[in-house]
Amino acid sequence: MILHNQVNKNVLKQQLKESTEERVTLSFYRYFHIYDVQAYRDQLYLDLLNLGVMGRVYIAEEGINAQISLPGDRLDDFKSYIDRSEELSGIRLNIAVDDNGKSFFKLKIQIRKKIVADGLNDESFDVTKRGIHLSAEEFNKLAEDPDTLIVDMRNHYESEVGHFQNAILPDIDTFREALPVVETMLEDKRDRNIIMYCTGGIRCEKASAWYRHRGFKNVFQLDGGIIEYTRQVREKELENKFIGKNFVFDERLGERISDDIISQCHQCGKPCDSHTNCKNDGCHLLFIQCDECAAKYDACCSTECQEVIHLSEEEQKELRSGVDKGRQVFKKGRSEKLIYKSNAIKSTANQLQTTP
């Protein structure tokens, strides 16, 4: 039996675009030991496929990390399936807060060394001694304390479009890179209250345990991340301390949390927080683009890529043939092609060099 998708992705994307089916987007994760990863992966694929699930799931010996969508009328069936699972029973499901039902177009389950790449040796510290979990109400209260530091553990392209008020925003490309950078930033603040947050909480599960191991005294984490925080804020009518959009890793590329637009189009500088992937299949750079620039550049990041997409399919494939993209996947939102973004970075660098 074939346990992976075989339909062309463009066909699936078009089907999703045209579909009127109500779908619910959600995410979940859990650290637990999986003894036979391949067998667990294959059975999970069959089970989720049977429930109409689409999405991206990572499986490793240390657990599961999933972002999925499913038909709205199968949500109760899915919850029952989770409750019957010995490994997943009682897990929190982070339901999307701004959902158009167009988040995923296929089911993809991958086996990885870790469910989140962190570069840490888990045997060197106790991963269960994590930071203190905070509800939205507890987060808001502790955030008012002048001795509290709020740290965004996400990547630069995530915090660029939305973040908590007064948060420290490390200019990093990956979670692996964030861990040592944040530790250096907080080196002389080990005795202060440190609240970490991320999209759904999984990165902070490991990070909080690591920083406690490294000697930080008062480590807290936002339980359920930005997604759960937003749900609680709306349900309990609390003050919302998050401004802008919550970046998400699916076709939506963002959830609107507040009406604030805190970022700019990377091509013209107009206020904008809509991420897109360059339409050129040989590029697919992730960047922020306003509607006017999308029309001007045909949804591409540059005139160079714009010229490419107007070539024949055969010519485009020839250009892509043999080209090693390397680790460019981690350079999201960073490219000399992005005129405004590139100039803004150079301007900031020059100011830093000339500042006495």
Q: What are phi and psi of 102, to 5 degrees?
A: -115, 40
* SS3 of residue 43 by DSSP: helix
**198 is annotated as an active-site residue:** yes
Tell me if 29 sits within 8 A of 63, measured CB to CB. Answer: yes
Beta strands in the chain (DSSP E): 23-31, 54-60, 63-71, 94-95, 107-111, 132-134, 148-152, 162-164, 193-197, 218-222, 242-246, 255-256, 275-277, 286-288
CA distance 296 to 20: 30
Q: How far is CA 343 from CA 269, 291, 337, 339, in A?
A: 10, 21, 10, 6
Q: Which of 198, 204, 283, 293 is catalytic?
A: 198
162: β partners: 244
User: CA nearest 99: which of 227, 263, 233?
Assistant: 227
Asked if residue 16 lies in contact with residue 102, where contact means CB atoms within 8 angstroms, the answer is: yes
List the catalytic residues: 198
